């Protein structure tokens, strides 16, 4: 992060604390509860957002070498993410071009060829159909070049392998990530590895789960038994970075910086920084590691979350330390996820027609504006 920006972010929050106020937007805002329940809106989001924008399929440490692969689901599609002989990351729909069988059933492995379990059509890990039993007699004139695996746009960036789930769509990754790229790069995520992880389907709309990470209004209440005491009450700021967002949640320790020269001010030590990479990836930047939250929207009312503690590779062996850290993160975030399920159940009663966002919850309507820009909602 640019040093002047880092100091500005700290000064802004210190100023708000001193003035005993909050980071306030212009006005109270609303969002119809349909956006969290309607399968019609969800399907639109799937078509216009999840299949068309980059989603993280894997961290680079999950396929470090040529021929390593993982099977993933993105926007309801099973995909294979692998590295070809040159080490280039590639992604394909996990579908045999003969009659559609899923090629790979294992979650991960190392193979330079994928052979279909039905009639053994075999593909190179760069996608080409290399052989098929009795090809000449059974399929005279078939142009093998037309039968490569369906490739998805795939890009290695900030330590992650990003894919676009619709093979007909290509986007300009450079441009899409430009407003957040420098800060994402500075996190050195490629030099980190998975220390701990967990995965669970929550009965909650994906946006409710994202929204839970965008405000600190709830910290002193919902997190009173975990991290609440370490944070200022309802003091956080946010900035849009294109479709993405940076949120800065002020720790109670930040005010002690006033006794130190600004040369010693380090935002990361006195705030939680959350980067929301639109639409489904959030990074929670902690003092010495990063928590990666990957969301996989399943339906209007269900979302699978993968919660990963990424630790610097050089410190990965400190098992007890990462176990302890991951437990704290998991316990805290699960407080949010349980509330997310409670909100979803609450909306289903019909008690509320809209979500009501206070002026210090301005990041939530901003996030929803990005969603609506991609859909006709
Ligand atoms: S469906 Fe894959 S080889 Fe026939
Ligand atoms: Fe929370």
Which pLDDT does position 44 carry in this prediction? Answer: 97
**97 pLDDT higher than 70:** yes
Average pLDDT over residues 185-196: 97
Average pLDDT over residues 354-377: 94
Which ligand is the nearest neighbour of the Cα of 216?
A: 2
Average pLDDT over residues 207-236: 94
pTM comes to 0.96
Token pair in block for residue 24: 């306030």
Closest C-alpha among 27, 21, 50 to residue 371: 50
Whether the CB of 139 sits within 6 Å of ligand 1? no
Query: Strands, E, within the chain: which ranges?
Result: 29-32, 55-59, 68-74, 77-83, 89-93, 108-110, 113-115, 122-124, 129-131, 151-152, 154-157, 160-163, 192-202, 231-241, 244-251, 271-277, 281-285, 290-299, 302-312, 354-357
Mean pLDDT of the chain: 96
Ligand 2 mean position to 225 CA, how many Å? Answer: 12
Which ligand is the nearest neighbour of the Cα of 117?
A: 1
Average pLDDT over residues 263-272: 94
What span, in angstroms and rounded, lies between the C-alpha atoms of 136 and 311? 52
What span, in angstroms and rounded, lies between the C-alpha atoms of 48 and 287? 36
Task: Give the confidence band of 16 by pLDDT, cuts at 50, 70, 90.
Answer: very high
Which ligand is the nearest neighbour of the Cα of 119?
A: 1
Average pLDDT over residues 54-65: 98
**232 pLDDT higher than 90:** yes
Average pLDDT over residues 303-325: 97
Residue 123: beta bridge partners? 114, 129
What span, in angstroms and rounded, lies between the C-alpha atoms of 50 and 114? 26
What domains does the chain contain, in order, with CATH numbers? 3-52+180-374 (3.90.380.10), 55-170 (2.102.10.10)
Ligand 2 mean position to 270 CA, how many Å? Answer: 17
Instruction: Give the SS3 label for residue 376.
Output: coil
Contact 174, 162 (CB under 8 A): no
- Ligand 1 atom closest to 132 (CA): 3
Contact 160, 59 (CB under 8 A): yes
Whether the CB of 268 sits within 6 Å of ligand 1? no
Q: Specify the length of the chain in residues.
A: 377
Average pLDDT over residues 299-316: 97
Whether the CB of 300 sits within 6 Å of ligand 1? no
Which pLDDT does position 376 carry in this prediction? Answer: 77
For the chain, give the percent of residues with pLDDT over 70.
100
Average pLDDT over residues 132-150: 97
Ligand 1 mean position to 128 CA, how many Å? Answer: 14
Ligand 1 mean position to 129 CA, how many Å? Answer: 11
Token pair in block for residue 172: 């300009």
C-alpha to C-alpha distances, 372 to 135, 184, 355, 377, nearest whole angstrom? 48, 25, 15, 6
Contact 66, 83 (CB under 8 A): yes
Which pLDDT does position 377 carry in this prediction? Answer: 60
- Name the percent of the chain in helix, strand, coil, to the closest 5: 35, 30, 35
Neighbour order of strands in the sheet with 68-74: 108-110, 68-74, 77-83, 89-93, 151-152
Average pLDDT over residues 167-182: 97
Ligand 2 mean position to 131 CA, how many Å? Answer: 52
Contact 216, 365 (CB under 8 A): no
Whether the CB of 104 sits within 6 Å of ligand 1? no
Average pLDDT over residues 82-102: 97
Nearest CA residue ID for atom 3, ligand 1: 119
Nearest CA residue ID for atom 4, ligand 1: 119
Whether the CB of 115 sits within 6 Å of ligand 1? no
Which pLDDT does position 1 carry in this prediction? Answer: 86
Q: What is the CA radius of gyration of the chain?
A: 23
């Amino acid at each position: 992060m640019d040093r002047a920006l880092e100091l500005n972010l700290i000064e802004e929050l210190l100023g708000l604390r001193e003035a005993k106020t909050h980071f306030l937007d212009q006005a109270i805002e609303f969002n119809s509860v349909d956006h969290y329940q309607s399968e019609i809106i969800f399907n639109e989001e799937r078509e216009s957002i999840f299949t068309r924008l980059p989603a993280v399929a894997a961290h680079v440490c999950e396929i470090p070498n040529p021929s390593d692969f993982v099977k993933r689901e993105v926007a309801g599609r099973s995909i294979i993410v692998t590295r070809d002989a040159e080490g280039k990351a590639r992604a394909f729909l996990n579908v045999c071009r003969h009659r559609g069988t899923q090629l790979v059933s294992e979650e991960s492995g190392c193979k330079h060829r994928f052979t279909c379990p039905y009639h053994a059509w075999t593909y190179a890990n760069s996608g080409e159909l290399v052989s098929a039993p009795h090809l000449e007699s059974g399929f005279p004139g078939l142009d093998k070049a037309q039968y490569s695996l369906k490739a998805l746009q795939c890009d290695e960036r900030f330590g992650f392998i990003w894919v676009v789930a619709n093979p007909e769509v290509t986007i300009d990754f450079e441009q899409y990530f430009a407003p957040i790229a420098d800060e994402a790069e500075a996190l050195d995520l490629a030099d980190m590895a998975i220390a701990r992880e967990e995965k669970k389907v929550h009965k909650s709309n994906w946006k409710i789960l994202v929204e839970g990470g965008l405000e600190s209004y709830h910290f002193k209440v919902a997190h009173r038994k975990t991290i609440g005491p370490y944070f200022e009450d309802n003091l956080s700021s946010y900035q849009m970075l294109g479709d993405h967002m940076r949120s800065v949640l002020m720790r109670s320790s930040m005010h002690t910086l006033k006794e130190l020269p600004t040369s010693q001010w380090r935002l990361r030590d006195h705030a939680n920084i959350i980067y929301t990479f639109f639409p489904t990836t959030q990074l929670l930047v902690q003092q010495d590691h990063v928590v990666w939250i990957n969301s996989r929207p399943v339906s209007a009312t269900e979302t699978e979350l993968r919660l990963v503690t990424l630790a610097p590779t050089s410190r990965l062996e400190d098992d007890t330390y990462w176990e302890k850290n991951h437990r704290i993160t998991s316990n805290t975030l699960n407080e949010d996820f349980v509330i997310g399920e409670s909100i979803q159940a609450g909306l289903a009663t019909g008690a509320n027609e809209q979500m009501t966002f206070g002026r210090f919850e301005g990041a939530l309507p901003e996030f929803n504006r990005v969603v609506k820009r991609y859909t006709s909602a």
